[in-house]
Amino acid sequence: MKVALIAHDKKKEEMINFAKENENILSKVKLVATGTTGTRIMENTKLDIYRYKSGPLGGDQQIGAMIASHDIDMVIFFRDPLTSQPHEPDISALLRLCDVYKIPVATNIATANLVIRGIA
């Protein structure tokens, strides 16, 4: 199983906390992430994460290509619907790809907690 982790700037701390709380589960799967999100999680956990470019440099598009290539099994993208910035990853393209390829996607902590237990 391969899980992608992405977070808008104001949601990175929440993603780090999510990763800490679910480190035991996440350590059993392959993890990929956009650059900054992956780096921050690795700095705060013992998780090994393959990091793509940061969101503004196309990391979300690299993950999108993996979804289209059937190389991602789940996406956890903590988005900031109120104050996301123009340089941050565009979730609409990833949501569309997840729907097309039937990939589960969580956009908030409540949904992430539910779907992560599906791989426990």
3-class DSSP state of 5:
strand
Q: Is 36 annotated as a binding residue?
A: yes
Q: Is 54 annotated as a binding residue?
A: yes
Whether 60 sits among the annotated catalytic residues: the reply is yes
The structure tokens listed for 106 are 């969580």
Count the neighbouring beta carbons within 10 Å of the beta carbon of residue 46. 8
Catalytic residue among 60, 71, 73, 80: 60
Q: Is 37 annotated as a binding residue?
A: yes
Distance of alpha carbon 112 from alpha carbon 110, whole angstroms: 5
Q: Is 34 annotated as a binding residue?
A: yes
Q: Is 111 annotated as a binding residue?
A: no
Q: Report the binding-site residues for substrate.
A: 8, 12, 34-37, 54-55, 87
Active-site positions?
60
Q: Report the binding-site residues.
A: 8, 12, 34-37, 54-55, 87
